[in-house]
Structure 1
Amino acid sequence: MKFVTGLLAAVLLLAGMGASHAVVRIVDDRGGRIRTYVNRYQGLRSSGESVVIDGLCASACTIVLGAVPYDKICVTSRATLGFHAAWDFGANGRTITDHEATMMLYSMYPMPVRRWIAARGGLTPHMIILRGKVLKAMYKPCYLDAGHYFAVGG
């Protein structure tokens, strides 16, 4: 009986540790519909999970920067963020910039990201890329150790 109780305690301890260190890893996300990402990230924000950006996060994926608390996001050396204006299909089937959705996207980003975007001409139909030292200056770095990510700094 002692063994079963000890085993149960160990399982509960490990389950608790797993929940407190839950991580969502973004690797190759080219984006999609804004509403889909807003819904996804609202759930992520509520869960308290951390986000590791470990590759491409472009277009609507970048909503994560405004939806998830700053202290729950870290970036690896491979992290790349891609920003552009929101768009929709016009009556003739061609893409047109959706100015209202673009302003909503821009307003969701943290101020350092907004300043960086503004310094590059704002959100336009052309993708602008944020990565490397500039991105690492905005977000805490995270590293992979023994199969688990951890953030450095706070």
Structure 2
Amino acid sequence: MSARRGSVALALMLAGCQGAPLATPRDAGGNLRAYIDEARRLDARGAPKAIRGVCASACTIFLGLRNVCVEPGAQFWFHAAHLPDDPRPDSLGSLEMLAFYPPRVREWVMRSGALDSTDFDKAKMLSGEALIAMGVPACRAAPL
């Protein structure tokens, strides 16, 4: 690949939020404490984060970053926090997640019961388009 093509490819990959965003193409979540630590690090640096594709579970706390953007076609799957090897909801962990969400997302989560159980179901999923309608910034389209 030529240097020019490589530069163009890199520019296209980095298009979206201001700066060079950290992109999330598919994130199934994981240890909530690790995600909280990462969210705080990103926010402290003001690092942009573009969320594309699937963002589930603990990944959804990134919606509260000040420099986040979402793609309209992204999917955000919500469920209650739980401790490792324990399928029961962890209410303290869920409250921590709730604190990260922007106000309109938090209202939807509380109204829909999205953090009431640890199960994933379609009723507890929001599209990027729905989140954009709630005020979460849309990622800018890549320049052609």
TM-score (norm 1): 0.70
With over 3 angstroms needed to count, the CA separation of the structure-2 counterparts of 1:73 and 1:134, relative to structure 1, is same
Which residue is 1:144 aligned to? 141
Which residue is 1:35 aligned to? 33
Q: Structure 2 CA distance, aligned partners of 1:23 and 1:94?
A: 34
Q: Structure 1 CA distance, aligned partners of 2:79 and 2:27?
A: 14
Residue 46 of structure 1 aligns to which amino acid in structure 2? A
With over 3 angstroms needed to count, the CA separation of the structure-2 counterparts of 1:36 and 1:113, relative to structure 1, is same
Residues 80-91 of structure 1: pairs in structure 2 closer than 5 A? 80-89=75-84
Q: CA deviation at 1:36?
A: 0.8
Q: Structure 2 CA distance, aligned partners of 1:97 and 1:130?
A: 20
Which structure has more strand as a fraction of its residues?
1
The CA RMSD measured in Å over matched residues stands at 2.0
Which residue is 1:107 aligned to? 99
- The answer on 1:126 being equivalent to 2:119 is yes
Q: Structure 2 CA distance, aligned partners of 1:132 and 1:42?
A: 22
SS at match of 1:96: coil
Which of the two has higher C-alpha Rg? 1
Q: Structure 2 CA distance, aligned partners of 1:101 and 1:57?
A: 18
Q: Structure 2 CA distance, aligned partners of 1:96 and 1:34?
A: 15
Q: Which runs of 5+ in 2 are unaligned?
A: 1-17
Asked if structure 1 preserves the Cα contact closer than 8 Å seen for 2:76 and 2:128, the reply is: no
TM-score (norm 2): 0.74
Q: Structure 1 CA distance, aligned partners of 2:138 and 2:63?
A: 15
Q: CA deviation at 1:121?
A: 2.2
Q: CA deviation at 1:31?
A: 0.3
Q: Structure 2 CA distance, aligned partners of 1:142 and 1:94?
A: 36
Residue 141 of structure 2 aligns to which amino acid in structure 1? L
SS at match of 1:62: helix
Q: CA deviation at 1:56?
A: 0.9
Aligned length: 122
Q: Which runs of 5+ in 1 are unaligned?
A: 1-19, 148-154
